[in-house]
A and B are shown apart, each in its own frame.
Chain A
Amino acid sequence: MNANAQKHSPWLFWFAVLTAVATLFLIGIGGLVTSHEAGMSVPDWPTTYGYNMFLFPISKWVGGVFYEHSHRLAASGVGLLTTILAVWLWLKDSRKWIHWLGVTAFLLVVAQGILGGLRVRWHMDSLGIFHGAVAQSFLVLLCLLALFTSRWWQNSETEKQIPVRRGLRSHVFFVTILIFVQLLVGATMRHQHAGLAIHDFPLAYGKIWPDTSAVAIAGYNAQRVSATSESNVTAFQIILQMVHRLVALLIFLGVAAGAWLALRRLGGQDPLTQIALFWLAVIFSQIALGAATIWSDKAADVATAHVLVGAIALVTGALWCAIAFRRSALTKIGGG
């Protein structure tokens, strides 16, 4: 092992894992908030119906309030975990750069809390989209912190490494960026509060590409009857869902190609190949959940699972990239 190598702290690693898992859980509750259209059910912030949020009586957690208030409490928990993690990293870890990653996580979680509050106070749906994007970025950062504090990461210098070619690294990196873009499109769809813009899949209003003329839109709206998605649909919303479908197809092809390339170039036993195959399985699940979201008329639990698996897909790509870039750096240093 390198003389300057960081001494591994299993407690710190497991605490980072806990914080990342709690964040994934928080994103899940956030998904439930939007799936149940409950984001504005608590009009005040940082109080809840005038109460200190930690003292809000459980008897009043009804309807949409249950989801929104749970989201706020879970967010407070993640905020506390992140603060402890940042301080712990600063005190315990000898790597300067990881100190600043911890500080970044702390600042992000504070900003995220304020964003969520302002979205409620200012009645701004666009802030909700931004809130969703920051949530995904924050999860990636926490997962990277868990990776960087793991024994495997800290000892990997001594392992026999097969270099990852630049082409494969770039390929996976761009597919990961595409997944992030896809999550932004998904967040924009959710914050339109229009329910499902297209109710059928794999076709769209019975066609490969739906008619978005004014007459066609009027016809769709005349037939749209839902208990909770009362808004009329617009051509923009229909096109947005079609973009989401097309990007999903691109991601599937990109991830499948990445897994195939990893298998060919690195071999089946390489951890990066195994992660790439896991990634492909995640994308399969995500496409199935996307279809199920439509077929179930956007059932809240299915739509929320779609959000969660989307987050896992992003994290998987980001971790793969981190490992591959690190390996390339090490093999260069070692003359590989």
Chain B
Amino acid sequence: MIHKYYLNGFYIVLDVHSGGVHVVDAVIYDLLDFVAPPFSQELFEKACAALSDKYTSEQLLEAYEEIKELTEAGVLFSADDYEKFADMMVSAPIKSMCLHVAHDCNLRCKYCFASTGDFGAGRKLLDAETGKKAIDFLLTHSKGRKNLELDFFGGEPLMNMPVIKEVVSYARSKEKEYNKNFRFTVTTNGILLDDEITDYLNREMYNIVLSIDGRKEVNDRMRPTVNQKGSYDVILPKFKNLVDKRGDGQYYVRGTFTKYNLDFAADVLHLNEVGFDQVSVEPVVADPKFDYALTEEDLPRVFEEYEKLAKAMIEKKKKGEGFNFFHFMIDLDQGPCAIKRLRGCGCGNEYVAVTPDGDVYPCHQFVGMEQFKMGSVFDNSINQEMKDDFARANVYTKEECKNCWAKFYCSGGCNANNYQYAGDIRKSFKLSCEMEKKRLECAIMMKAALAADDAE
């Protein structure tokens, strides 16, 4: 399977099953509308007849030979031989956990999928005992996996700082005995950051996700405080302070865009301009009944905005002012292996979420959906049948993914989104797919543009 597209002056051809990325000229691009294996003189002649007004027969023959050469080398029209690996997709050790330390929040973000922080189940903080049980759960269910990830999540996790500290120190005390390496992350709105907490997080957290939407008016419209005041002026200096002190440590400023700011490229660029070089701004997940929800009619505008952002980022990079936008980051050579790419996030299988009550869910997005409660840290239980079902959700068991060119980049999308919108974890949510494909096209085009610049 191949996918070809034209963007920003580049003709790009992706060979899906080898991962090959080719920048081609117009002759090849047009010729690929006609020729494919099994190659035949008849097909080629048809192509020549159709393209003779645009290209000389010499150009066409030369291009045709190159297409055949790449095909023989296995990097064009390569066969799909991954299904055998997909059949091997069975239940894996649980090695990532989203720990909900606070089902409460000090902001009232209008798009919050967690119902202002309590996930619709009442405000509650995790207690230290339950937190330690969650660590025990992870230590045993992770079996032979060495690297364990624990994300302190909420609500707003910093509302429960003493428990975070206790859980971190408990987990660290077990690393040697169990031969594990804990990587902690925290996702915070920043309101409660002070110097002491900042230093602690910078020391203990492998990654820190700082929530801010972009320009002041955009952020403050959707992320007000409990008293309906804007949060931008409070959090920005705190985030800058944290990042300044962080050194090389991993972090992202992470925003959400909605129908209210379809010009979100300006928000991404704003976050970079105020001093952040690791930026993620993502489409809102919301029921279409809400005014701010993204709908299919927004897609042309969203696409235009991604293109605008990609072009702006290329220019910045050329000037030596490059920064990372999470969704445009792709490593074409050293990225994850094909096995990882078959099933993506691993929710409900390698990855689970734990609530302040100690209940286990497939991921944070499923929390509060009673039918997806799959275990408890108190009796170390896990619903193996449900876990197996999530384990089998891969790009070959998702009908729309199987024949999609983007399957090895997005890996089947978000199972929770699929469930929320299509009622089935294996049914793709079209809006997300379209945006993801556009982001990938932009990300790969950026590689082409920067490679061309290097060559000059």
- A and B: bona fide binding partners: no
Write the residues of chain A forming the contact surface with B, with a CB cutoff of 8 angstroms: none
